[in-house]
Chains A and B, each alone.
Chain A
Amino acid sequence: MSKNIRVMWLLNQQYLSISEIDMLKSVGVEEIYIPKSHYCDNRELSVVVDVGSDYELSIPKDEIEILNRQNWFENPSKDAWNIANKYFEIIFIGFLPKQINSTSINFDGQIVLRVFGLEGDDSYSNSLRQILKPGELVNLFKVKNRLWFGTGYKCLKYREEDFLKDRDCYLPVVKSLTDNFDSWTGNNNKIYFDCPRILISKFHNHQYENFKRDFKDFEYTIGGDQPIKVVDEAVIGSSSRDDYKHDLRDHKLMFYYDSEPDIFDCKLFEAIEIGLPLIFMANGVLDRLGGRVLPGRCKSIREARRKIQKIVSGDKKFIRLIRSTQKILLQSVSKESSLAEWKSSFNKIIDKVLLQRKVQNLLPLEYKIKRKKIAVLLPIEYRGGSLRAAKMVAEAIYRGSALDNQKVEVVFGYLKGDYSDLDFSDLSKQIKRREFTWKIVTKGIAETIFKYKNFPKLKTKQEYYVPDDGISYFSDCDLLVIISDRLLKPLLPTIPYVNVVYDYLQRYEDFLQARLNEIFLHVVHNAKKVIVTTKFTKGDAINFAGLSEDSIELCPHLVPDYTNWNNSKTDDALTYFIWTTNLAPHKNSLEALRIYYDKLGGKLKCITTGLNTDRMFEENLEHLKLLKKIVTSSKKLKSNFKLLGNLAEEGFQSLLSNSAFLWHSARNDNGTYSVLEAASYGVPSLSAKYPAMIEINECFNLNMMFMDPWDPEDMALKLKQMELEIDSRRNLVPSFANISNYRKQAAIKYWDVIKGCL
């Protein structure tokens, strides 16, 4: 080896670790890192922690410590991956979805996906499609030239598709010899049957039931780790390593079904090494390893029972015959027989490592560092708050990256519609705009796209969306940030994307068709990350959308820069309060106003603004008819109630800055920025009490007064209270001098999330 190659061996199998590390050293690898944190799922139970190996690593201690703190089986930190990329060129990983995804995204070296066969007829090619999300699968396909299908058994590649078959790297399973060689005593006249995870694995449960049925009249012990206790005296459950070895030495024989044609249990070889007589069924993998001629081989359960009977009854000649011949099986997994194969396969990987080193040296700088491009997409022809929010996300990403000295290009994509240049006049010039439409990709086209991308077949049954910008479908972008989850079809997983979800209103209000809701939930499940802006929405994202916590990022509310806003006093200052609303049902609010004027003698006028609110009593909707009825029923309300409709920015600012307070009566949405705008003019707010508004209040220390939106009496009382306490309330409004620092921190947070997805 021309230069020391370091390997990360990130598997969690105790039986393998010793032999594999031995083999790696035999093929010339001197420095190997083994993870220190454990991982357990219902398939991987064996655990290895070997701090000793760290001493052989020639990398700084503090960096080793960072590596040791990670859970390498899920999502290690970005820092840890940076260290991994700095010092290691080969990584061995298991068949674990999070580990595969994290490695394919973050590791720049050669990736060996170490596999030892699957139960049943399933292939890894198919299983990958099942365990990984479409976007994760694409991440794996993208590293195909650095991916090695590290098969433990030669036959494994034959059932795979080309994308894995072509990357086959046969590294045979090896059993290292221990000091237990031929230490069998056989004092316990029982059969030893290894059958772990009986109540977790269907496969082992089936074997357990079969064994009990086939050998019920024999005495037996069933070994293997049992995370869930099995109520059966014969099942001894988890035992220490020493106890386990003792059991193998002590039992009369071991029975093995050998039902899988491609895989075998490494523990079997430990038993053979100890000298425990092995009775096994024919036509399994042991036949291929030289077991076809062994006396312990049985073609039927009847034959197995007969042979077991012979051993149990102490047929010494037969026992000696079995023990002396079965050692042939050890040869097939011995270091000597596998070393040549290991060397030849590992050399293929080393060749690629050396090529990668060469490329790193030769690659011109412009090809090493590519300026990243991020597109922020507004998927629906939104206006008002949503459009403003989308623009602010684009600005935050751009600003955050600039603060991090990693200037990226940000593109703002908006759906083709009735927008004018004025709608984007507040967007920085550095952020380029791009109009797009959604285009449907049929199943056939999706497969063709995958083919042209050199990806394996998607095997999809559904249609997808792609944003058609008339140029290249945003394929020049490295990441799409989609404002909201409102996509009518899943996005084609060729470009990774992040969703910004502001609320799950459909959980609380019945307005969304179940079919659409299902699609929206699927959309966020395929996203790389989902950004939410309130803890409340985060809770919904977990409990309603079913997202895992680590896929959600809580980012701050983005707020506009209020510092340059117009603030001139008018004659009617403080004689009214302002109600920002829309044409949704507001029965309680109008009822509250009626009480405020009729019962509580409210003196302030109520000025209403918001999209189409000037037509509140003209629209022919049932709930609006009801509102009209309420207003006309009260003379005082009618005379104090004024509808202004949608106002231009400047008009709204002037109206707001001169108002006594702002009234916000909506509920269950993502909160409103109006209270922040009001506060920037020193105008207090009275808001409905719901989680998003509580969070906004806490975040900006707004000292808002809250009311119960379900109780018109309370709403009216609070309106009156605001009227009476107007001066003291105004004094409680915080200064917004520090808003620019808040905006800066928010931009950094948004960029951090986006950077993690690039």
Chain B
Amino acid sequence: MRVYGIFICFSPSADLKSEGLGRHLAEFLKAAQEIHDIKFCIAAPSWLRKQLEILFQDYNISKESFEIIVPKYTPLSLKVYNLIIAFYYFNFASFRRNILGAYLKKCKKLFKGGHGDCAENKLRKFAFISITLLLLPVLIPIIILSIILVLIYRLFNKVGALLCQIGGVFCQVLKWFQIDIKNNVITNYLRTREFLNFRKPKYVSNLMRWCYLIIQSKEESRMVSLIEKNKQVLAWYCPTLFWPGINKISAPKLVTAPDVVLNEFSIDFAFILGDIGKQYSNFINTIMGNKYFITYSQNVKYQTLVKEYGVDPDNVFVIHHGASKLNQLISVEQDSTKNKEVLEKSILKQLFKESLKQTQGHSYAEKIYSDSDLKYIFYASQARPHKNILSLLKAYGYLLRKMYIKQKLILTCSKYEIREIENFVQAHNLDNDVLFFNGLTSQQLAACFKLSDLAVNPSLSEGGFPFTFTEALSVGTPIVMARISVTEEIITDDKVREAMLFDPYDWHDMADKILQGLNYPEKLLELQLPLYNKLAKRDWRCVVRDTVNALDKIIEAESNVQK
């Protein structure tokens, strides 16, 4: 039996089930366990041991089918880091309000005679006071320590802000005196400001990120030393570019390069993410430190790896995604009930009601829409700059106000992640017609696709052919999509292209195609089904087989080089 390795290094806070890459890994492993002439060995950091077990359970993956290489102990540095993070995210206001508030309320109730002065009440009072007194020796140091920590934390912030201000004033003074401010003074000042920015709302501060990357790097080294001892693994596979630890493995290795949107949409990402520092260097180092790659499309192979990074095209294997089908999540078995359609409809309605609960920034959506048969256009995507949500909103606004379509627009991204999205919705008074169902489960997602009139995907760039195509078609919903390299790579029929692809940079074109799709959904579906049926045949076992073939090729190529 040939043994191959999978190198993973998710962060400690990652929830594998909710991460796209985690789900991808699960599907891959699930398919891999069904192929009996090969075996996979998974190398992971110590903190992922538990997460992997949960993932295996959730996806019905047999633990015995895989060998797992994990460093024995969780590093002390990570424990300290976790403590800091826990403290960082600790909500003092909520603690004060909920725990202390509940305690004081209880005291008030007991001693203000809420329960009368019976023997039972006396006993209660006695027990309450005794427990409070007993806990005091423990509670007092905790409270004092907490206060000290809070003070340090606030002081740290204040000092940081003060340093920034001093730095700013200093630079200003130098400017007034027309002194040539050396570059390093400016950068240090900026660095100080960035470094001490503990109150960044969405992202852990740079300092914490930097700490984590050090821990990650150390853990990767521990993993690599275990990997190097394991001689039975013929080659290693890494499903992303963000884990440069793979570079240190001496056996042949194959790395997946999903996409390089950070480079393609650098301005957008710089505005939204700011400088993600070493994380980006990791990404580049992984490309530069490896020879063999997998991409999900010819486009990423040629445009990114070959043209941008000078990778040999013979060393890049294009392995398309397996079809992502959602129908099995919502379809009712034929023999389970006589009235299949009614039951299916009721399940879908229930799932949609649950989805409505997830609506962001629209407190009454659940109440007013749960019983109505809403008609809507659906776009399942995260909020990322290249997802082109603003153009979709423009097109939708036009269709609603100028073409009088009745459908709402439902998005699965967060309303608040990109400020421009929230601003646009508010400025154009679309709050009631654009709903944000953030954090849907797979089943809810399937229901939303099924109930929508039309799915849309206006993304400007994707690493592979978007999953949304098979997801929508699997539940019988037609879809219109952006005309980008990865869609044209798969959709080659001119008729189908003409019917469903639009220029993502031209919202008028997008609106036209959406309108056409809404007016003639059956026609669109009819055109799309042959392609769907073809793509649906490609399951995850095909992906595993292709990956194993690629691994075998690199093993052969490397052994030839050594000879």
- Report which A residues bind B (CB closer than 8 A): 145-146, 352, 355, 358-359, 362-364, 366-367, 411, 432, 434, 439, 441, 443-445, 447-454, 459, 461, 466, 470-473, 475-476, 492, 494
Contact = CB atoms under 8 A, between A and B. Distances in A.
Contacts of A461: 186
Contacts of B460: 471-472, 476
Nearest to B194: A444
A145 B288 CA distance: 11
A449 B266 contact: yes
A364 B275 contact: no
Nearest to A363: B302
A679 to B, nearest CB: 37
B394 A470 contact: yes
Contacts of A358: 312-314
A455 to B, nearest CB: 9
Contacts of A145: 308-310
Contacts of B190: 443-444
Contacts of B265: 472, 475
A366 to B, nearest CB: 8
A608 B28 CA distance: 77
Nearest to B269: A452
Contacts of A363: 302, 306, 313
Interface in B240-284: 262-271, 274-275, 280, 284
A470 B390 contact: yes
A327 to B, nearest CB: 43
Given A362-B313, A367-B307, A432-B505, A473 B275 contact: no
Contact of B264 (A441, A445, A448, A475): A475
B270 A445 contact: yes
A443 B274 CA distance: 12
Given A434-B505, A472-B265, A475-B267, A451 B313 contact: no
B501 to A, nearest CB: 15
B386 interface: yes
Contacts of A439: 271
B284 A364 contact: no
Contacts of A473: 267-268
Contacts of B183: 459
Nearest to B193: A444
Nearest to A473: B267
Contacts of B394: 470
Contacts of B420: 470
A411 B507 CA distance: 13
Chain B interface size band reads 35 or more
Which of B280, B298, B302, B504 has most chain A Cβ within 10 Å?
A: B302
B344 interface: no
Nearest to B485: A366
Contacts of B314: 358, 362
A452 B280 contact: yes
Pairs A-B, 9 closest by C-beta atoms: A452-B266, A448-B270, A145-B310, A470-B390, A448-B275, A449-B270, A367-B302, A473-B267, A449-B266
A461 B264 CA distance: 24
Contacts of B274: 444-445, 448
A362 B312 CA distance: 10
A465 to B, nearest CB: 11
B390 A367 contact: no
Nearest to A466: B267
Contact of A449 (B186, B267, B303, B388): B267
A364 B306 CA distance: 12
B391 interface: yes
B512 interface: no
Nearest to B271: A445
Contact of B391 (A451, A454, A470): A470
11 contacts: A145-B308, A364-B302, A439-B271, A445-B274, A447-B275, A449-B267, A461-B186, A466-B267, A471-B460, A475-B267, A476-B505
Contacts of B312: 355, 358
Nearest to B287: A454
Contacts of A444: 190, 194, 274-275
Given A432-B506, A434-B505, A444-B190, A452 B308 contact: no
B263 A472 contact: no
Contact of A494 (B266, B271, B390): B266
B463 interface: no
Contacts of B299: 367
B502 to A, nearest CB: 12
Interface in B507-547: 508
Given A352-B310, A432-B505, A471 B263 contact: no
Contact of B267 (A367, A459, A494): A494
A403 B307 CA distance: 30
Contacts of A475: 264-267
A441 B183 CA distance: 19
A476 B275 CA distance: 23
B313 A454 contact: no
Contacts of A359: 306-307, 313
A473 B385 CA distance: 11
A461 B185 CA distance: 12
Contacts of A445: 270-271, 274
A445 B268 CA distance: 10
A411 B390 CA distance: 18
Contacts of B268: 472-473
Given A362-B313, A434-B505, A454 B267 contact: no
A453 B275 CA distance: 12
B535 to A, nearest CB: 21
A4 to B, nearest CB: 22
B481 to A, nearest CB: 16
Given A363-B302, A471-B390, A471-B505, A453 B266 contact: yes
A454 B298 contact: no
Contacts of B271: 439, 445
Given A367-B303, A445-B271, A471 B391 contact: yes
Contacts of B303: 367
Contacts of A472: 265, 267-268, 385-386, 460, 505
A187 B93 CA distance: 96
A416 to B, nearest CB: 12
B263 A452 contact: yes
Nearest to B461: A472
A470 B385 CA distance: 9
A454 B264 contact: no
A122 to B, nearest CB: 15
A472 B264 CA distance: 9
A453 B307 contact: no
Given A367-B303, A445-B271, A449-B270, A454 B263 contact: yes
A444 B275 CA distance: 8
Contacts of A352: 310
Nearest to A355: B312
Contacts of A362: 313-314
Given A452-B280, A470-B394, 6 more contacts: A366-B485, A441-B270, A452-B263, A452-B270, A470-B424, A492-B267
A366 B298 CA distance: 11
Interface string B197-221: 0000000000000000000000000
A338 to B, nearest CB: 27
Interface in B140-199: 183, 186, 190, 194
